[in-house]
Structure 1
Amino acid sequence: MSGVADQGLGCEGLLRVGGEVLEGPCWDGRTGRLWFVDIPRGTIFSYGWADRRLERVDAGEAVSAVIPRVEGGAVVACRRGVATLAGDDLRLGMLIDEDISWMRTNDAKCDPYGRLWVGTMADDASPRTGSLYRISADWTRTTVLTGVSISNGLGWSPDGRRMYYIDSPIKTVDVLDYDPSTGNAVARRVLIDTAEYPGMPDGMAVDAEGCLWVAFFGGGAVRRFSPGGSLLATIEVPDRYVTSCAFAGPELDHLVITTGQGPDSAAGGNLFVARPGVPGLPTAAFAG
């Protein structure tokens, strides 16, 4: 893909869901299906790439992310913690912040080595009340960051030695040095200051060239940045409240974009798709 700064790209509608806040798109290469969720409605969706069939599971509580599991099925970031999903059988496996009734999970993703990362936030997005956790294959939980406001986008460089992280209200995309052998993430620093762009950074995906695709909630766009932080491309999205994105399809050459409804608009809650001209990285499944 061309490295010309701010190359304009288009997208088209993939699926009209009419959800409240669609989030957490995730490609499952084993089944050829795209997972995503509607956070407040507690719905887990699975979309067949070939047959275009949409299936759903009602979680009975808010769900913020769904990720394939090595042994089959998936893990789900639920309001109360992390659950396993097999078919339509959802079972809570770990409580998180169980003593704080007004806290819930938010974005979650696995590193390339099968460790699950889950962030939390307050229901009213109170500043600096959330955390970021790492869950190992043996279901051991480690607190990595505290004082987080809205824990969001996660990603890793192709060599696994850089971890990217977004705390949305700060309006930065941060980078940390990552140790693949231990899962330790240190030396957090700002990679991209997004204050000049409309909206705030939300979910993100990393492509095979190591560039970051960042969704801008309230900004109606997904933007591509180089590993050094330079703006390379912009995808304008018809829905203003863009929540996340993920590479999907058998060749990982489609970028699926999720949206939600906003405080000033009932439009949203749909899926869009773009052909960015560069493939993404394979989805890492949870090893636990």
Structure 2
Amino acid sequence: MGERPVWDDRYRVLVWVDIISGELHRYRPGGNEDLLFKAWASIGTVALGDWGGYVLACQSGFVFIDARGVVVDTAPRPPGFDDDVRFNDGACDPRGRFFVGTVAVDGSPEKGRLYRLDHDGVATVMLEGISESNGIGWDPDGATLYYVDSGGTSPALHIFDYDLDSGQIRGLLEHVEFDSSLGVPDGLVVDHLGFLWLAFWGGGLIGKVSPRGELVSTYDVPTKFPTCLAFGGEQYRDLYLTTARDTEDGLAGHLFHAVTQSVGMRQPRFQLRK
């Protein structure tokens, strides 16, 4: 299950995780894809680290690796993280705090949480009662947080007021439920104008969503289960899409690429100051 692609402008590569296989992959456009890191269990997401490597949300806790895939540090599981849950998607806010959520392994509703990993390596619970923590991103000013809960009976995009200085989630601005015929809202990325590019699991499409949560347009993709997106390339016009494998779909599980007229944003780096 491909998840959370991130463009790394330092090395001009795309990295993403295979959650169930516990793998971190790396792709250099025009070159080959290779396996950068293998964990003993699942990896929910990845973010860039300011030391030149990456931070991974693993079943064992947070793992910090260098650009060669060598472990340089770790941090423990966050509070309330038990064996019956796993990490599922996450990203850094514009100040480099790492937000990552969880989902119950058996799909039970409201067992997930959203955590914030601070620069000292300590994780704090930000939201509870989440059914399937999924896509997360911020507007270009960092004042609005976009967050998807894909689980339960009413999957939705939540739009929050966000205090960038403190890293606190403030009031809920919008609760957006999309027509079920589109699929289930999943991973997302925000472009430089504040529009969201949202994968719809099971619907085989990507939706472009306004900053207020209005669906502007949709784009069909070659497989039924898109998971998450990233902008990359020299001008951040290259859109990458991860997908999940399905035995009935020959293209499922592949990494896809398209050139767009939209422009993405450079991804923040997690700053470890333990």
Structure-2-length-normalised TM-score: 0.92
User: Which residues in structure 2 correspond to 1:139-154 (within 5 Å)?
Assistant: 139-154=121-136
Counterpart of 2:98 (choices 116, 133, 139) is 116
Cα deviation for residue 101 of structure 1 reads: 1.3
State the structure with bigger RCO (CA 8 A, min sep 6), 1 or 2: 1
Alignment counterpart, residue 128 of structure 1, candidates 110, 122, 126: 110
SS in 1 for 2:265: coil
Q: Secondary structure at the match of 1:229?
A: coil
Tell me what 2:70 maps to.
89
Map 1:183-262 → 2, pairs under 5 A: 183-262=167-246
Closer, same or farther in 2 for the Cα pair 1:99/1:241, shift >3 Å?
closer
- Contact 2:246–2:253 (Cα < 8 Å) also in 1: no
Q: Which deviations, in whole Å up to 9, do the C-alpha atoms of 1:29-67 show, x marking residues without a partner? A: 111110001111111101112x42212122221112111
Aligned to 1:15: none
2: CA distance, partners of 1:262 / 1:149: 23
RMSD: 1.7
Letter in 1 for 2:104: A
State which of 122, 147, 152 in structure 2 corresponds to 1:165: 147
Q: Displaced runs of 4+ in structure 1, greater than 6 A?
A: none
Which residue does the alignment assign to 1:273? 257
Distance 1:99 1:247, change over 3 A: closer
**C-alpha distance in 2, partners of 1:228/1:135?**
27
Deviates more, 1:149-158 or 1:166-175: 166-175
Judged with a 3 Å threshold, the aligned counterparts in structure 2 of structure 1 residues 104 and 53 are, in CA distance, closer, same or farther, namely: same
Name the CA shift for 1:263/1:192 in 2 (closer, same or farther; >3 Å): farther
Q: Is the 8 A contact 1:220 1:239 kept in 2?
A: yes
Please tell me whether the aligned partners of residues 231 and 240 of structure 2 are also in contact (alpha carbons under 8 angstroms).
yes
Provide the C-alpha distance between the structure 2 equivalents of 1:114 and 1:259, rounded to a whole number of angstroms. Answer: 26
Q: 2:19 aligns with which of 19, 27, 39?
A: 39
Letter in structure 2 aligned against 1:172: A
Kindly state the Cα deviation for residue 81 of structure 1 after the two structures are TM-superposed.
2.0
Q: Please give the alpha-carbon distance, in whole angstroms, between the structure 1 residues aligned to 2:12 and 2:136.
A: 23
Per the TM alignment, residue 79 of structure 1 is displaced from its structure 2 partner at its CA by 1.7
Query: Which amino acid letter does the alignment assign opposite residue 72 of structure 1?
Result: G
Query: 5+ unaligned residues in a row in structure 2: which ranges?
Result: none
CA distance in 1, matches of 2:217, 2:61: 36
| Percentage of matched positions with identical amino acids | 35
Which segments of 5 or more consecutive residues in structure 1 lack a partner in the other structure?
1-20
1:58 — aligned with what? 38
Structure 2 CA distance, aligned partners of 1:179 and 1:284?
Answer: 16
CA distance in 2 between partners of 1:83 and 1:113 (Å): 20
How far the C-alpha of 1:189 sits from its partner, in A, is 4.3
Alignment length, in residue pairs? 267
3-state SS of 1:132 partner: strand
Q: Distance in 2 between matches of 1:267 and 1:282?
A: 28
The answer to whether the Cα contact below 8 Å between 1:97 and 1:103 also exists between their aligned partners in 2 is no
- Say if 2:75 and 2:122, in contact at 8 Å, map to a contact too: no
